[in-house]
C-alpha cells in the first residue's frame, strides 16, 4: 500500500465473493486481503456460487453477493442460500449498484444481513464487514430456536431475541438496524419506525417456562406480521415486552386504528392461546416517526424517537415513570 509496509491482523475466516464483474472480484479480494482476510473464494455467478457451496467441507463464514447477474440474480441466490441448513444464519452482505428501495426491501426480505451500494467507500465497506462478522450468530443458536428450546429457564424477556425464519418480516435487531441505515443513506424517507408494547409479557415470562414464553412471543410476532401485511414491514423483538417495526408510511394505517386492530387479532386464539395472561393481552402502539433530512444514517435518530414516543404513550396509559430503553438498545447489543 503506497510502498509502506502495513501490518495486518490475520483473520481465520472464510469468504465467498460473488460478482459477474472480474474487476469487482479482484478489487474486493485485494481490499479484504489488505485487512487480513486471506481465505477468500470468488464466483462469477449464482450457478458457480451454488456449485462451490455444495462442494465445501466447511461452511463459509461470510458471503458477499452482487444483485444484477446473468441467470439467477443475487437476491434469488440469497434466498436459495438461506434454505441451506449450514447458511441459515451466515452473514450475507449485498454489494450492488442497485440503490432503489424495492431492491433493498427484496434483499433484506430474502435474508440479507447488510446492503451497500457501489461505488463503495473502502472504510465504510470494511466497517460493514466487521459489523456483520462481529454479530455473526453462525455456529450457535440465538436466545431460543424455532422449536422453542430455551438456552436457560428464564431467557428472552429483557433482551432482543431473534424471532426469525417462521415469522414473515421478523429479523434480528442488528439486521433491522442495517436495513434502516441502508434506506436512510439513500435518502429514502418513505418509511416510519414505531414501537409496540405488550405489557402482560412480563407476567407471562415470570409465570412460565422459557419454551412457552418463546411460543407466546412467536405467536405475538405472527399477529403483528399479519396486521401489518402489505406494508413491507421489517420487525424485531427488542426486549422488555416491546417490538420495533419499520415500514412504508404510505401503506400504514393510522396508529390508533392499528392499535385497535392488533388488540383484536391478539384476542383470538389463533395466535396466542387464551389464558396465557390473566385478563388477556393488551397493546400500546407508539407514534410513527420518520427520518429527518438532517439526521445522520448511522445515528438512527428516528428509531430513538419512536422508542421515546412509545414511552410517552405508555406514561399516559399507566401512572408510572417512563423508563428509557433507547440508550440500552443503541449499545450495539453486546449480548448478541
pLDDT (tens digit per residue) in 210-257: 888 888 999 999 999 999 988 889 999 999 999 999 998 888 899 999
Overall average pLDDT of the 91-118 stretch: 93
Overall average pLDDT of the 191-198 stretch: 94
Question: Is a pLDDT exceeding 80 seen at residue 5?
Answer: no
- Please indicate, yes or no, whether the overall pTM of this predicted structure exceeds 0.75: yes
With bands split at pLDDT 50, 70 and 90, how would you rate the model's confidence at 321? very low
Overall average pLDDT of the 252-278 stretch: 88
Q: In 3-state terms, what secondary structure has residue 116? A: strand
Overall average pLDDT of the 11-17 stretch: 87
Do 308 and 326 meet the contact criterion of CB atoms below 8 Å apart? yes
Question: Is a pLDDT exceeding 90 seen at residue 298?
Answer: no
With bands split at pLDDT 50, 70 and 90, how would you rate the model's confidence at 322? very low
Buried b (16+ CB within 10 A) or exposed e, 72-111: ebbbebbbbbbeeeebebbbbbbbbebbeeebbbbbbbbb
With bands split at pLDDT 50, 70 and 90, how would you rate the model's confidence at 11? low
The per-residue pLDDT for 318 is 54
With bands split at pLDDT 50, 70 and 90, how would you rate the model's confidence at 165? low
Question: Is a pLDDT exceeding 60 seen at residue 323?
Answer: no
Cis peptide, bond prior to residue 119, ω within 30 of zero: yes
Residue with the bigger pLDDT between 192 and 154: it is 192
Angstrom distance (rounded) from CA 86 to CA 46:
17
Amino acid at each position: 500500500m503506497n510502498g509502506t509496509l502495513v501490518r495486518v491482523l490475520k483473520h481465520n475466516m472464510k469468504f465467498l465473493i460473488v460478482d459477474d464483474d472480474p474487476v469487482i472480484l479482484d478489487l474486493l479480494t485485494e481490499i479484504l486481503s489488505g485487512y487480513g482476510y486471506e481465505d477468500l473464494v470468488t464466483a462469477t455467478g449464482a450457478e458457480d456460487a451454488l456449485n462451490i457451496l455444495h462442494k465445501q467441507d466447511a461452511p463459509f463464514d461470510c458471503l458477499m453477493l452482487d444483485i444484477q447477474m446473468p441467470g439467477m440474480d443475487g437476491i434469488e441466490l440469497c434466498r436459495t442460500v438461506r434454505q441451506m441448513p449450514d447458511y441459515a444464519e451466515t452473514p450475507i452482505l449485498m454489494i450492488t449498484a442497485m440503490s432503489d428501495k424495492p431492491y433493498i426491501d427484496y434483499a433484506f426480505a430474502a435474508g440479507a444481513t447488510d446492503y451497500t451500494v457501489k461505488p463503495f467507500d473502502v472504510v465504510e465497506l470494511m466497517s460493514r464487514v466487521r459489523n456483520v462478522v462481529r454479530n455473526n450468530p453462525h455456529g450457535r443458536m440465538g436466545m431460543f430456536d424455532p422449536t422453542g428450546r430455551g438456552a436457560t429457564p428464564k431467557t428472552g424477556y429483557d433482551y432482543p431475541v431473534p424471532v426469525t425464519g417462521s415469522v414473515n418480516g421478523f429479523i434480528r435487531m442488528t439486521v433491522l438496524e442495517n436495513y434502516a441505515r441502508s434506506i436512510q443513506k439513500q435518502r429514502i424517507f418513505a418509511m416510519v419506525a414505531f414501537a409496540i408494547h405488550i405489557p402482560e409479557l412480563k407476567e407471562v415470562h415470570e409465570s412460565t417456562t422459557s419454551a412457552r414464553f418463546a411460543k407466546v412471543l412467536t405467536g405475538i410476532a405472527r399477529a403483528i406480521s399479519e396486521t401489518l401485511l402489505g406494508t413491507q414491514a421489517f420487525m424485531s423483538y427488542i426486549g422488555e415486552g416491546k417490538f420495533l417495526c419499520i415500514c412504508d408510511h404510505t401503506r400504514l394505517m393510522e396508529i390508533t386504528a392499528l392499535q385497535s386492530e392488533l388488540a383484536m387479532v391478539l384476542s383470538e386464539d389463533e395466535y396466542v392461546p387464551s389464558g396465557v395472561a390473566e385478563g388477556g393481552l393488551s397493546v400500546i402502539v407508539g407514534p410513527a416517526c420518520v427520518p429527518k433530512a438532517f439526521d445522520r444514517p448511522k445515528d438512527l435518530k428516528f428509531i430513538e424517537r419512536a422508542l421515546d414516543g412509545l414511552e410517552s404513550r405508555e406514561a399516559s396509559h399507566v401512572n408510572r415513570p417512563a423508563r428509557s430503553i433507547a440508550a440500552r438498545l443503541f449499545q450495539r447489543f453486546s449480548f448478541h
